[in-house]
């Protein structure tokens, strides 16, 4: 019996050891988010502890010497899952045969700017990279857009890659989701994983709406509504929302650089959930294609919704009750996204 079990164990081990490597692209790979992100990806935190990886690192030509240093450090980590590292400044190399693409590379905002002030500088990058996805990547590739303004860049990338399903594109609002979760947890005095089902609606911008009307807090083994656990409606409808909306700016003011460690952690959370699904009974927030949604959000935007993920596909959590307070905030952030989309399309057609 023992021998049979050992043989079965060996078969499973051998099968997983022989898994084909997946090809994962990180753009902006010489930048600060990538520096916090690459180690987690390469050691298996995102795609699994048995999944070999080929890491493709794209940056612009002047950054290639810096990228060489990043490659050396990745090699020096001696990570068994990391089968190959490919540094490049060429899209035809960077986007070839991808299973996953994490599009970080772009300009970050400085103190005093809104993220949409980056539109002119950054949207052209995402048009080019969308076209490269269309031309070189697998049609099953999962694309996560991080570079700001993330929602609109993501929309432009997906429009530039018409043969890749819109559902394969998402943008990062998980950092906002994590911020909201953590703010509630600190207020109630519980660990962050005792708060679930917060929702970020809309744009990764200062109009986003962090909503805890359906969030649950577990305290002393009992699940209670976040509004009851916090027991301070004016905080939840006031400072809580503005703290989450303005958190990116607060980090920039303090660090003189935009968030990187927390952004990298959120990217890992987002991609891991795409790969392995969300835990039972929980949802997460991500920016996804809005057409056909049941919440009255205009079509043809990348808008952040509550989603559950299974078999690498997301589904919006439908049927949540929306009061007038929430409605107003959801509409305001949608209006900003419509304006951003129209401005981006004007830039691209100029």
From the CB of 249, what's the least distance to ligand LMR, in Å?
6
Residue 31 site contact among ligand NAD, ligand LMR, none (CB < 5 to 8 Å, cut-off depends on kind): ligand NAD
**Is there binding between residue 344 and ligand NAD (CB under 6 A)?**
no
Does position 52 interact with ligand NAD (CB under 6 A)? The reply is no
Does 109 bind ligand LMR (CB under 6 A)? Our answer is: yes
Residue 341 is labelled as binding a ligand:
no
Stretch that binds ligand LMR, among 25-33, 219-227, 251-259, 270-278 (CB under 6 A): 251-259
**Is residue 172 within the footprint of ligand NAD (CB under 6 A)?**
yes
Residue 89 marked as a ligand binder: no
Q: How many residues bind ligand LMR (CB under 6 A)?
A: 10
32, interface contact from ligand NAD, ligand LMR, none, CB < 5-8 Å by kind = ligand NAD
Q: In the complex with ligand NAD, which residue's Cβ is closer, 88 or 194?
A: 88
Residue 234 to residue 17: CA distance in whole angstroms: 54
Interacting residue with ligand LMR among 251, 264, 268, 302 (CB under 6 A): 251
Report the nearest approach of ligand NAD to the CB of residue 78 (Å).
Answer: 25
- How near is the Cβ of 325 to ligand LMR at its closest, in Å? 23
88 near ligand LMR, rule: CB under 6 A: no
220 annotated binding-site participant: no
For residues 25 and 95, is the Cβ–Cβ distance under 8 A?
Answer: yes
| Residue 197 marked ligand-binding | no
User: Does the active-site annotation cover 213?
Assistant: no
Nearer to ligand NAD, 170 or 194 (CB): 170
- Residue 317 annotated as part of some ligand binding site: no
Of the candidate residues 175, 212, 217, 286, the single one contacting ligand LMR (CB under 6 A): 175
Binding region: 59, 109, 115, 122, 146-148, 179
Site for ligand LMR, rule CB under 6 A:
108-109, 115, 148, 175, 248-249, 251, 258-259
Give the catalytic positions in this structure: 204
């Amino acid at each position: 019996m023992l021998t049979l079990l050992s043989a079965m164990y060996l078969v499973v081990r051998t099968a997983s050891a022989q898994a084909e490597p997946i090809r994962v692209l990180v753009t902006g790979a010489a930048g600060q988010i990538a520096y916090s992100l690459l180690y987690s990806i390469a050691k298996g935190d995102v795609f699994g502890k048995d999944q070999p990886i080929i890491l493709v690192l794209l940056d612009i030509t002047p950054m290639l010497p810096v990228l060489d240093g990043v490659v050396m450090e990745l090699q020096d980590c001696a990570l068994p899952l990391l089968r190959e590292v490919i540094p490049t400044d060429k899209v035809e190399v960077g986007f070839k045969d991808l299973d996953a693409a994490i599009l970080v590379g772009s300009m970050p905002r400085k103190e005093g700017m809104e993220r949409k002030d980056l539109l002119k500088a950054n949207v052209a990058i995402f048009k080019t990279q969308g076209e490269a996805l269309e031309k070189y990547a697998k049609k099953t590739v999962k694309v996560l857009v991080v570079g700001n303004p993330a929602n609109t860049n993501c929309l432009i990338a997906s429009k530039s890659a018409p043969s890749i399903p819109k559902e394969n594109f998402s943008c990062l609002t998980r950092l906002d989701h994590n911020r909201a979760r953590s703010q509630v947890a600190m207020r109630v005095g519980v660990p962050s994983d005792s708060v679930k089902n917060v929702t970020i609606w809309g744009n990764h911008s200062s109009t986003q709406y962090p909503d805890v009307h359906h969030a649950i807090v577990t305290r002393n083994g009992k699940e209670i509504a976040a509004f009851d656990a916090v027991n301070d409606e004016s905080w939840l409808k006031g400072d809580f929302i503005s703290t989450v909306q303005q958190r990116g700016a607060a980090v920039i003011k303090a660090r003189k650089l935009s968030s990187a460690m927390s952004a990298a952690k959120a990217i890992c959370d987002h991609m891991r959930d795409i790969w392995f699904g969300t835990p039972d009974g929980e949802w997460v927030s991500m920016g996804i294609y809005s057409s056909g949604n049941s919440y009255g959000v205009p079509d043809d935007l990348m808008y952040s919704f509550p989603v559950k993920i299974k078999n690498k596909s997301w589904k919006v959590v439908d049927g949540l009750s929306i009061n007038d307070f929430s409605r107003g905030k959801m509409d305001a952030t949608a209006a900003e996204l419509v304006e951003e989309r129209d401005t981006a399309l004007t830039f691209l057609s100029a």
